[in-house]
Amino acid sequence: MPLERLRKPWPDHRAERTLGAVSLLVGAVILAMVVFVTVRAWPIFEHNGLSWLGSGGNLEDEITRMTAASSNPTAADYHLRAWPVIYGALLTTGIALVLGLVLALLSSIFIVELAPARVRNVVIPVVRLLASVPSVIYGLIGILVLVPYVGNHLVTEQQRQSMQGTAQLTGESLLVAVVILTVMITPIMIALICEALTAVPPSWREGAIALGLNPLRAVRAVTLRAIRPAIVAAAVLATARALGEAVMISMVSGGKFFTPRPSDGVVFLYEPLRTLASTIVDYREGISSPPLGATIYSFAFLLLFAAFALSVAGYLVKLPLRKYQTRG
């Protein structure tokens, strides 16, 4: 009977076919998702070409017009220039990635190469735990602690006056978003880099030391070179998490389509912004208005595309590094 046959050890060919079917299913689900998002986002491409990725419009006005559009929208309702949110996503992710990568590299070298075993045995599980904290918790800490602190203690009266009429410095800012984002992505990178560091054969470093390098220079010359593919992999994963972060950014970044200007000096850090993902959260209620729905899906499309581009880029960067790889 079929059930009894299922309980017996499976012949190879059947196991192979079953596993193949499951993995094909995963592929099919992803494909279906991409197709669905693309179809929903299509009106934006249809009406704007690719120029919706550019600047030059007033995103605030465009979204307001979309919200008020009737269920038979005109072509003008679909007008979109999404640069402020793309810039917001790139800015927060970029700064957080650079900060996080430096922190992660230094702390992983400390944890693996220098720390005594007792410290290492505590720190590694703690890092793993940090890497799995849900982002909404970081968002709550941001909005209850960091935002009021920045708004009431760091931003000065003078700075507030200088930005009057353009943007309000409430403490919901680029600074808080980047700080929390860095805290969120660093543990992932530390966990991955630590693993790679422990996999480097000790004999390589010993050899370098025997040749006359001091321990820190040996780490730099041999160990770090050996784990370059792992560093790239960690950075790609961290970038993907940072780009897709929606809820936390929506809570702490100041809900305003604004492009922070580095030319403003310190005030730059206190300026509000929105990212692709946080805009989706902020405007999710408007998804049934056709133009706004298409806009939200076009942002989702961009995030999907970025995820795809990231994994391809990660693969391409790793190719020439293959020769340094320690395993496989």
Q: Which residues bind another protein (CB under 8 A)?
A: 1-3, 60, 63-64, 67-72, 143-144, 147-148, 151-152, 157, 160-161, 164-168, 170-172, 250-251, 254-256, 272, 281-283, 285-289, 292
| Nearest distance in Å: CB 95, another protein | 21
Which C-beta is closer to another protein: that of 120 or that of 160?
Answer: 160
CA angle 19, 22, 25 (to 5 degrees): 150
CA 192 from chain center: how many Å? 16
Question: Among candidates 67, 48, 46, which has minimal Cα distance to 57?
Answer: 48
CA distance 22 to 225: 38
| Nearest distance in Å: CB 243, another protein | 20
CA distance 230 to 194: 10
| Nearest distance in Å: CB 295, another protein | 11
Question: Among candidates 265, 269, 241, 243, which has minimal Cα distance to 254?
Answer: 269
CA 96 from chain center: how many Å? 9
Which C-beta is closer to another protein: that of 205 or that of 256?
Answer: 256
* Residue 286: CB atoms within 10 Å: 16
| Nearest distance in Å: CB 233, another protein | 34
Which C-beta is closer to another protein: that of 71 or that of 203?
Answer: 71
Which C-beta is closer to another protein: that of 238 or that of 246?
Answer: 246
Helix (H, G, I), strand (E, B) or coil at 10: coil
| Nearest distance in Å: CB 293, another protein | 9
Question: Among candidates 96, 92, 76, which has minimal Cα distance to 84?
Answer: 92
Which C-beta is closer to another protein: that of 77 or that of 205?
Answer: 77
Q: How many residues does the chain have?
A: 328
| Nearest distance in Å: CB 168, another protein | 5
Which C-beta is closer to another protein: that of 54 or that of 255?
Answer: 255
CA distance 102 to 134: 23
